[in-house]
Amino acid sequence: MKELRRNMRLIGALVVVMFIALAGWFAMTVYTQGAIWASDAHNTRLAASNTLRGDITDRHGNLLATTASDGSRQYTQNEQARRALSQTVGDIAGMSGVGVETFHSSELMDISTSLLDRLSELFHGADHMGSSIQITVDGRLQAAIAGRFPAGYKGAVCVMNYRTGEILAMVSKPDYDPYDIMSRSDAQVEDTAFLNRCLQGLYTPGSVFKIVTLASAVTADPNVITQPFTCAGVWEYQGGRVVCAGGNAHGDVDLKTAFKKSCNVIFGKLAYQLGLERLRATAEAFGFNENFKFGDFVVYNSSFPKDVGGMSELVWAGIGQGQVLVTPLHMAMIAGTIANRGVMMKPMLIGKVVNSLGVNTAVGQSAVYRQVLSEAVAGKIAEYMYETVQSGTATRARVQGYAVCGKTGSAEVSDDKTVETNAWFTGFIYDDAHPYAIAVVIEGGGAGARMPSQLASEALEWTIKYVG
């Protein structure tokens, strides 16, 4: 019996400990994920509840979404603006899964309100009022950029303030009209229109990735900038070859010229010289292969190959091809890091959350995400990017009276040349009074990146005009 009691004590303790673990797990998941579960689009309680959703306003306080007195949800009146903001603001049907309406519905509906508030509402018979959210986006700016986006093309434009991390515009084309969804006639919605390409579009970066390769090289050896390189237009190496755009030979050049002319051969060689480890370390410092959890929104994770089979993949990774994938938002963050003296800011979308009583329950705080590069290296790259806009591949991105720095890219998305390349521009205004970084991608926009550079120039000009 003594032994039996001992065993029973053991088993009893085991069962009780398991129960405590279960209760702990339960409490923890509900505490951390409960609001996310509750705000899921499949929650029928949201649509049926008598909760009045709070407003969504832009950075200047302009209404982007509000609940009318009859309880219906209203969006911006102008159709073009409504469409331009569609994926950013979202819709109550939850079609755009990353919009504020969906991702922040627990705040908009104040699901986490305290017991006391609920009791008082119960006694007063009042409708439950949700909180209002002010986002950092500028509605006019976003609508203007969307209006200038080349007709018929798909793509994205992301503008952010690199000193604070505030996202100022997230244009994603094609877009949709939330009213179409609400009237349940989704026939007019274009394919993939619900995607917010700034956050959910994983693109091959192509030459814009050379910023990362350059950063890695200069960090590893500051003398690399004086090293002579030769480009014969084609580089044949064991197991493959790299060609410069149009097969042009850039000749004997230094790194600055190679960068501003976007020389594939020299950057391929540079990647090879660096080796996978160092290049990957820099890419990961920039946030590649990282599980982004910024809190304000969902963004897909960018990737850089962990392991390469051979030399070819390393060389291609160095010029942003192969298995390298990035979102436009992340690309804007990378450009912003160069401008912000090597410091990457945490991107933010939520300016503040104000509850129904007018009390600020949350205020967006800008925060340093990480020091990625030394100030000296960042300054050097900014100089190269400035040259690129002054006399390199990105001259169309110039803005009168401002120091624009940038880099273009044409990313090949298929092995044969039948599909038009994705055209990229990423850059920034190098000015602490106007600290704006931008990334533009136009799917099938063609080589030379004329369209995105042009659009970026206009977008930056409007940003100065509207945001200040």
Partner 1 sequence: MSRQRTDAMKRALMRSNTRLLLTAVMLFQFAAMALIAFQSGTVNRQALILAVALPTVTALTAGIMGRIWPVDRAILIMVLFLCSLGIVTLSDIARSDVTPRTQAIYALAGIFAMFVGAAFIRRFTGWQKYYRALMVLCVMALLSPYLPVVGIVKHGARNWVGFKSLSVQPSEFMKPVMILCLAAGFANRPRFVQCIPTLAFAAVCCAVLLVQRDLGAVLLYFLTTVLMYYAATSNAFITLSGLGMGAGAAVVAYRLIPLVQTRVALWKNPWSDPTDKGLQLVQALIAIGSGGLFGMGLGLGRPRSIPLYYSDFIFAAITEEFGLIFAIGVLTVYVLIIMRGLIVAFNARTSFHSLSSLGLVVILGLQTMLIVGGNTKLIPLTGVTLPLVCYGGSSLVSTFFSMGVLLGISSMNAEDEARDIERIEMREEI
The residues binding partner 1 (CB under 8 A) are 1, 3-9, 11-12, 15-16, 18-20, 22-23, 25-27, 29-31, 33-40, 42-45, 48, 111-112, 114-115, 118, 122
CB 12 to partner 1: min, Å? 4
- Residue 229's DSSP bridge partners are 253
CB 347 to partner 1: min, Å? 25
| Choice between 78 and 120, CB closer to partner 1 | 120
| Choice between 299 and 423, CB closer to partner 1 | 299
**Nearest CA to 290 among 336, 347, 339?**
347
| Choice between 281 and 362, CB closer to partner 1 | 362
| Choice between 108 and 271, CB closer to partner 1 | 108
| Choice between 109 and 170, CB closer to partner 1 | 109
Residue partners of 446: CB distance under 8 A and separation at least 6: 410, 420, 421, 423
**Nearest CA to 150 among 357, 443, 465, 420?**
443
CB 64 to partner 1: min, Å? 26
Residue partners of 133: CB distance under 8 A and separation at least 6: 54, 55, 56, 57, 100, 104, 107, 108, 350, 351, 352, 353, 354
Chain centroid, CA 195 distance in Å? 13
CB 37 to partner 1: min, Å? 3
What values do phi and psi take at 102, rounded to 5? -90, -50
Q: What is the DSSP string of 69-83?
A: TTS-EEE-SSHHHHH
| Choice between 48 and 433, CB closer to partner 1 | 48
- Note whether 435 and 163 are within 8 A (CB): yes
CB 395 to partner 1: min, Å? 47
CB 355 to partner 1: min, Å? 16
CB 192 to partner 1: min, Å? 20
- Note whether 115 and 309 are within 8 A (CB): no
- Note whether 334 and 286 are within 8 A (CB): yes
- Note whether 104 and 94 are within 8 A (CB): no
- How many residues can be counted in the chain? 468
| Choice between 130 and 305, CB closer to partner 1 | 130
CB 330 to partner 1: min, Å? 24
CB 424 to partner 1: min, Å? 32
CB 1 to partner 1: min, Å? 6
Residue whose tokens read 């798909």: 154
- Note whether 98 and 297 are within 8 A (CB): yes
Residue whose tokens read 């996202």: 167
| Choice between 10 and 376, CB closer to partner 1 | 10
Q: How far apart are CA 401 and CA 461, in angstroms?
A: 10
Residue partners of 125: CB distance under 8 A and separation at least 6: none
| Choice between 17 and 376, CB closer to partner 1 | 17
- Note whether 425 and 453 are within 8 A (CB): yes
CB 120 to partner 1: min, Å? 13
Tokens of 189: 């919605």
| Choice between 5 and 184, CB closer to partner 1 | 5
Q: How far apart are CA 362 and CA 355, in angstroms?
A: 9
Tokens of 154: 């798909």
| Choice between 96 and 216, CB closer to partner 1 | 96
- Note whether 344 and 319 are within 8 A (CB): no
